[in-house]
Amino acid sequence: MVVKLWSADLAGIQAQPVTVEVDISNGLSSFNIVGMPDTAIKESRDRIRAAIKNSGFEFPGRRVTVNLAPADLKKESSRVDIPIALGIIASSSKKLFSPETLKNKMFVGELSLDGSVRPVTGILSISINAAANGLTFFVPEPNYCEAKAVESGNVIPYRSLNQLIRILKEIEPPHIPHCPEPEVLENYPVTLEEIKGQAHAKRALILAAAGNHNLLMYGPPGAGKSMMAKALPSILPSMSNREEIETTMIHSAGGILKEQSIIRVRPYRAPHHTISHIGLIGGGTRLNPGEVSYAHNGVLFLDEFPEFPRRTLEVLRQPMEDGRVRISRASGTVEFPSRFMLVAAMNPCPCGYFGSRVRECRCTPTRISNYRSRISGPILDRIDLLINVPQIPMEQMVAGNTGLTSREARQLVEQARQIQFRRTRCPNAWISETQLKGVCKMEADAETLLLTASRKMSLSSRSFNRVLKVARTIADLEQADKIRAPHIAEALQYKVSDFFESGITYD
C-alpha cells in the first residue's frame, strides 16, 4: 500500500506543495527516491536511514520507493526529510500508526542523524500555502513563530521525529513556544537627528524618499555618506502589510530572517564591493535570493560605487528596470522580486579630496575622469538625484542639528507618496515616459525655465525627464498641484549629468 503525505518546497519565494508517496514492497533491500536531484538523494537517504534507526524504529529491509511530485520542481532535499521518514515508518508498521493520521496535514523539516529536527528556510510562504489549503502544518519548533506570523492556520511545532510521532498518536501534546509580539519599534540604524549639518544633503534625502528616486552621493571620505544612506529607512514611508509579508518571504527563503518573525522596517542592505555576482543578484546551488532581493521594498546601498566591478554593476540593470530578477538554471527559472531604492556613494576622485577645502587633491584630470567613467551610462540613467556631501566645518558639528527629525520628515514623505499613489498608483520615480506629460503639469514660467535651462545646459532628453520627475516630487512635498519655477530650479541642482558629463569643473 502506498502512503501519501503533503510537504512543500519553494519556487523562488512562492511555496509549492509537494506530494510524498512511499511504497514498501517485497524484494531486495533498497531505498530509492524519485523526483529529486541525484546529488541530493544520497545525502538525504543517509540522513533518513540513520535518523529512523536512531529514533528507535526499524528501517525496513525491503524495497523502499519514495516518489516526490511534481517531478520537475527543483526540490531542496532537506525540507522533505521528515515527511519521507514519516511515510516510511507509517507504511512499514501499520500497527504503529494508521496512515489515516497523516491526512490533511503538511510536514516539513530537516533531519539530523540522531533523529532531531532542524529548522528550514521559507517557512512563511509554506505556512501561508498550508493555511490556504486547509492543512495542519507541522513545523520544526524554531520555525514556529515565523509560521504563525501571518496566517491563523493550525500550526504544530515538534522537535524530533520521535516527538512528532507521539504528537500524531496523541500520546504527547506539542510544546507551543512563546512568540514575542511583533516589534513595532522604530528600530532604525540612524536617524536624521543624529546627522550634524548637511542641510542640503538631508533635503535631497527627503526628496529621494518622497519620490523613491535612486540617488548618488559624492564627497570626501569621512564626510558621512554612509550615515546619510543609513538614515534613509527612517524617513521612508512605513511598509504596507503586503510589503511586509513580501519582504519577510524573501528573507525567509534565503534563511536570513533573524529573531523577528515579520520584517516591519524597510530593509537596508549594504554589500561590499567585493560581493560576487551571485551574492548580488541571487542564484547558487540552493537558488538563494541575492542582495537586490533582500533590499526589496527598501534600500540597496553601494558604497565606493566605482570599486564595484563593471560586470557586477551591469547586472543591476535588469532588476532595476523590471523590479524583479530572473535566475535561469538547468532546472528552470526562478524569479525573485527586487524593487529597491539604489543609493550609491563615491569619492569625487581617486584620492577622495577633489573640491575639498580640507586637503589638496593630487589626482590628474585624466585619472579623475577615468575614475568617474567606471560607472556606465545605463546605470547612471537610472539615477535621478546627485548629492554633494561635503566635509562639514567644525562649527557646524558643534552647533549641532537643526532641521527636521526623521519622524517629521517621514510624515512629509508619506503625504507626498499618498498624492502620487492617488495619481499614478506608483512613486514618481517609476512614472513611465508616456505618463510623464500628463503627470508633470507645469506653470508657464516653470516651463520657460526648464526649456531655457535645457537649451543652455544641453540636457539630454533623459536628463530632461529626470529633472521633471524630481520637480514633480518637490511639488508633491509642498502639495502643489502644478510644478512651479522654484521647483524646477531646485530639481536642476540635483542633475546627475553635472558630475559626469561636464568634466571636473564643479564647485
User: In the 8-state DSSP scheme, what is residue 59?
Assistant: P
Between 51 and 351, name the residue whose CB sits nearer to Zn ion: 351
Between 24 and 361, name the residue whose CB sits nearer to Zn ion: 361
Cα separation values, 483 from 217, 256, 424, 426, 442, Å? 25, 43, 16, 18, 4
- Provide the minimum distance between the beta carbon of 349 and Zn ion in the complex, in angstroms, as a whole number: 3
Between 104 and 370, name the residue whose CB sits nearer to Zn ion: 370
- Which of 194, 187, 203 is closest to 227 using CA atoms? 194
Out of 299, 363, 380, 496, the only residue in the binding site for Zn ion (CB under 5 A) is 363
- Provide the minimum distance between the beta carbon of 354 and Zn ion in the complex, in angstroms, as a whole number: 4
- Provide the minimum distance between the beta carbon of 373 and Zn ion in the complex, in angstroms, as a whole number: 15
Which one of the spans 57-65, 158-166, 325-333, 356-364 is the region binding Zn ion (CB under 5 A)?
Answer: 356-364
Q: How many helices (H) and strands (E) would you count in the chain?
A: 21, 18
Q: Does 354 bind Zn ion (CB under 5 A)?
A: yes
- Provide the minimum distance between the beta carbon of 305 and Zn ion in the complex, in angstroms, as a whole number: 16
Contact between residue 355 and residue 499 where contact means Cβ atoms under 8 Å apart: no
- Provide the minimum distance between the beta carbon of 478 and Zn ion in the complex, in angstroms, as a whole number: 38
Q: What cell was used for 84?
A: 519521507
The count of chain residues that interact with Zn ion, using the rule CB under 5 A, is 5
Q: Does 346 bind Zn ion (CB under 5 A)?
A: no
Between 362 and 441, name the residue whose CB sits nearer to Zn ion: 362
Contact between residue 264 and residue 184 where contact means Cβ atoms under 8 Å apart: yes
Strand-by-strand arrangement of the 14-25 sheet: 30-34, 63-69, 14-25, 2-11, 105-107, 136-140, 155-158
Q: Does 351 bind Zn ion (CB under 5 A)?
A: yes
Out of 349, 412, 470, 474, the only residue in the binding site for Zn ion (CB under 5 A) is 349
Handedness of CA 488, 494, 500, 504 (dihedral sign): positive
Which one of the spans 14-22, 163-171, 359-367, 378-386 is the region binding Zn ion (CB under 5 A)?
Answer: 359-367
Which one of the spans 68-76, 334-342, 343-351, 412-420 is the region binding Zn ion (CB under 5 A)?
Answer: 343-351
Between 83 and 306, name the residue whose CB sits nearer to Zn ion: 306
Out of 361, 389, 446, 471, the only residue in the binding site for Zn ion (CB under 5 A) is 361
Compute how many other C-beta atoms are within 10 angstroms of the C-beta atom of residue 10: 26
Which one of the spans 72-80, 317-325, 345-353, 452-460 is the region binding Zn ion (CB under 5 A)?
Answer: 345-353
CB-facing half-sphere around the CA of 157: CA atoms within 13 A: 19
CB-facing half-sphere around the CA of 415: CA atoms within 13 A: 14
Residue 118 C-alpha from the chain's centroid: 24
Between 336 and 354, name the residue whose CB sits nearer to Zn ion: 354
- Provide the minimum distance between the beta carbon of 302 and Zn ion in the complex, in angstroms, as a whole number: 21
- Which of 176, 85, 182 is closest to 124 using CA atoms? 182
Sites of contact with Zn ion (CB under 5 A) = 349, 351, 354, 361, 363
